[in-house]
Amino acid sequence: MKIGITCYPTYGGSGVVATELGLELAERGHEIHFISYAMPMRLSTFHKNIFFHEVDSVDYPLFDYPPYTLSLASKMLEVATYEKLDLLHCHYAIPHSISAFLAKRMSFSHKLKVVTTLHGTDITIVGSSKSFLPITKFAIESNDGVTAVSDYLKKETYKQIGVACPIKIIPNFINTQKFNRNECRIFRETFATNGEKILIHISNFRPVKRTEDIIKIFAQIRNKVSLKLLMVGDGPERSKCEALCRELHACDRIKFLGKQESIRDLLSISDVFIMPSDSESFGLAALEALACGVPVISSNAGGLPEVNVHGETGFTAKIGDTKTMAEHTLTLLQDDTLRKKFAKNGVERSAAFFSVEKIIPQYEDFYQEILG
């Protein structure tokens, strides 16, 4: 198949999933064309079956803001026509699905199919706002096929958007060859110079991630166990976290590493992963942690309990309950046997339910169903 993929190329779950999906499909012999305003961040190596098409930004005095939706639609049409795409796969409903709808309506050379994968905030935040709800509903219903990354997100889409079309659940996935525990003692000693345990968080530091809660959790347990905290990623909440770190006089034990490519290496030297989010449609970073043998402490928000099973791969708690999360974290850090048991369970669960071998064929089957 020849498949066009459009996603946000930034540091976030939808872009990561879209890029990894394209890479896995290319490995299986499909021809993949990424269409976006920038190269997706994980598309860093050459592959004979992968092509990138950059969307041009229109600079014209009448436009206060460049009309990206229209530019994207034109580029989608161009690529679909000249590369003879079988379908377009959009990740994130707005504006990608609308652009794909326009491209499909303008396409006369062949019958172009459109699939959209819903990832979370495109429904729970953007799509559910009054100004965007009608167009989000229209965008979703105009697709030939729609998928959601969790049962939670499927239910929220029906509840908040009120769509009248079927939605297939295809979970996010992990390549266990890329994500597995490969601990480097020297690398670990770089951060834990005195043999401390390592707590880690990875995100785009948006308010929904509740990153300040992580600092508060650390503060509750820092005098009870020898511990370092790694904060990986960047975003609007980072400055607040750094200020709180200074206020608590904890900056010598909390390291802000910014955006990093070597996620597996960082997870492999960590003991506990923490994700106290307000909302998560799935929790891809938590799945990556489990695959690397790192138990997860998370909120019970959204689709997180579908990934992180309480009492099996980690612990969950109510949103904002930093006291309970701190207690759970301390339990795992002080009980090596329990932590190793949860680590083993996490590796097994990620392989059994979320591996590329389990999930990618579901996408291929879905494409074939849409193409008839």
pLDDT of residue 107: 81
Whether residue 155 is found in the same domain as residue 44: yes
DSSP letters of 305-333? Answer: HHHS-BTTTEEEE-TT-HHHHHHHHHHHH
pLDDT of residue 109: 56
What's the DSSP call for residue 211? H
Whether residue 63 is found in the same domain as residue 129: yes
Whether residue 222 is found in the same domain as residue 105: no
pLDDT of residue 94: 84
Q: How many domains does the chain have?
A: 2
List of residues 6+ apart from 349 with CB closer than 8 A: 290, 309, 312, 313
DSSP letters of 350-369? Answer: HHHHHBHHHHHHHHHHHHHH
Whether 179 maps to a domain, the answer reads: no
| Prediction pTM value | 0.88
How confident is the model over 351-371, as a mean pLDDT?
96
Whether 367 maps to a domain, the answer reads: yes
Whole-angstrom Cα distance, residue 155 to residue 196? 42
pLDDT tens by residue, 310-336:
999 999 999 999 999 999 999 999 999
Whether 133 maps to a domain, the answer reads: yes
pLDDT of residue 369: 95
Whether residue 122 is found in the same domain as residue 39: yes
pLDDT of residue 41: 76
pLDDT band at 220 (very low <50, low <70, confident <90, very high): very high
pLDDT tens by residue, 8-28:
887 567 888 999 999 999 999
Whether residue 59 is found in the same domain as residue 134: yes
Whether 238 maps to a domain, the answer reads: yes
pLDDT band at 133 (very low <50, low <70, confident <90, very high): confident
Expressed as residue numbers, the domain containing 84 is: 2-173+355-371
pLDDT of residue 117: 94
Whether 13 maps to a domain, the answer reads: yes
pLDDT band at 184 (very low <50, low <70, confident <90, very high): confident
pLDDT at 345 > cutoff 90: yes
In this structure, of 58-67, 142-151, 356-365, the range with the lowest mean pLDDT score is 58-67
Q: Which residue has the higher pLDDT, 62 or 84?
A: 84
Q: Which residue has the higher pLDDT, 121 or 69?
A: 69
pLDDT tens by residue, 232-260:
999 999 999 999 999 998 888 999 999 88
pLDDT tens by residue, 265-280:
999 999 999 999 998 9
CATH number for the domain spanning 146: value is 3.40.50.2000
- CB-based contact 200:274 (threshold 8 Å): yes
Longest C-alpha distance within the chain, in Å? 68
pLDDT at 45 > cutoff 80: no
Q: Which residue has the higher pLDDT, 228 or 13?
A: 228
pLDDT of residue 364: 97
Whole-angstrom Cα distance, residue 314 to residue 345? 9
Whether 242 maps to a domain, the answer reads: yes
pLDDT at 129 > cutoff 70: no
- CB-based contact 89:5 (threshold 8 Å): yes
In this structure, of 19-28, 99-108, 296-305, the range with the lowest mean pLDDT score is 99-108
Pairing of strands 227-233, 145-148: unpaired
How confident is the model over 59-75, as a mean pLDDT?
80
pLDDT band at 299 (very low <50, low <70, confident <90, very high): very high
Whether 12 maps to a domain, the answer reads: yes
pLDDT of residue 12: 66
Whether residue 325 is found in the same domain as residue 197: yes
Whether residue 155 is found in the same domain as residue 197: no
Whether residue 218 is found in the same domain as residue 79: no
DSSP letters of 55-87? Answer: PPPP--TT-SS--HHHHHHHHHHHHHHHHT-SE
Whether residue 223 is found in the same domain as residue 120: no
List of residues 6+ apart from 242 with CB closer than 8 A: 251, 256
- CB-based contact 329:199 (threshold 8 Å): yes
- CB-based contact 79:103 (threshold 8 Å): no
Distance of CA 55 to the CA centre of its chain: 23
pLDDT of residue 56: 87
pLDDT at 64 > cutoff 80: no
How confident is the model over 169-173, as a mean pLDDT?
95
Whether residue 129 is found in the same domain as residue 201: no
How confident is the model over 169-190, as a mean pLDDT?
88
pLDDT of residue 190: 87
Whether residue 15 is found in the same domain as residue 137: yes
Identify which of 10-14, 108-112, 295-299 has the greatest average pLDDT. 295-299
Whether 59 maps to a domain, the answer reads: yes
Amino acid letter, 111: K
Whether residue 98 is found in the same domain as residue 199: no
- Report the percent of the chain where pLDDT is more than 70: 95
pLDDT of residue 128: 60
Q: Which residue has the higher pLDDT, 64 or 305?
A: 305
